[in-house]
Amino acid sequence: MLNGILALLFAGLFLRAGELPSSMWEPLGSGSFPRLILAILVLINLAIMLKEARRLRTLQPGEPGMVVQWLRRHRLAFGVLVLLGAYILCLPWLGFALASLCFLLAGQWLLGARTARGLGIALIIALCFSFGIDLLFREVFVISLPRGLLG
């Protein structure tokens, strides 16, 4: 069901991407790359729905507690989803670099970086992919990512 909702959302965004203004330097139009990515996302979600529908047809009624077991098995995915929601909510206030740093550090800790060495590597990765990407977009591409209230 979630994949169906996502497929509809991505299809709607696909249609809206065609409305992006174009410039004379982009022969395909500014919406071409977002439309390509969104079309791929729609296809991926449809493929997941098809695969799950085939699997659900072969399932027999299960024993009590299967839902709890399923939730327990997928707790990391739900944790990352909660972190992503917090990242999206904090992005306007903290700005791209700081929000990304927090998201990446928390995500890597959640996924298993608990030793001093692991946390050091996580910090280096988080710094490169938060402040590094912000610097790249600002200085090379001349695109300002959200600065936040602190920036």
Report the C-alpha gap between 103 and 126 in whole angstroms. Answer: 8
Question: Are residues 145 and 71 part of one domain?
Answer: yes
Reference 133, options 146, 121, 120, 148; nearest CA is 146
Q: Per-residue confidence at 151, pLDDT binned at 50, 70, 90?
A: low
> Residue 86: what pLDDT?
95
DSSP 22: -
* Residue in the block written with tokens 């306007």: 92
Tens digit of each residue's pLDDT (9 = 90 or more) over 78-98: 999 999 999 999 999 999 999
Same domain, 6 and 78: no
pLDDT for the residue 123: 96
> Do 143 and 74 belong to one domain?
yes
Query: How many independent structural domains does the chain possess?
Result: 2
pTM for the structure as a whole: 0.65
Whether residue 87 is found in the same domain as residue 128: yes
Q: Residue 18: give the domain boundaries.
A: 1-59
For residue range 97-148, list pLDDT tens digits in order.
999 999 999 999 999 999 999 999 999 999 999 999 999 999 998 888 899 8
- Residues 41-75: pLDDT tens digits? 999 999 999 998 888 888 777 777 888 888 899 89
Last residue of a domain, one of 23, 41, 59: 59
pLDDT higher for 30 or 8? 8
Q: What is the pLDDT of residue 115?
A: 95
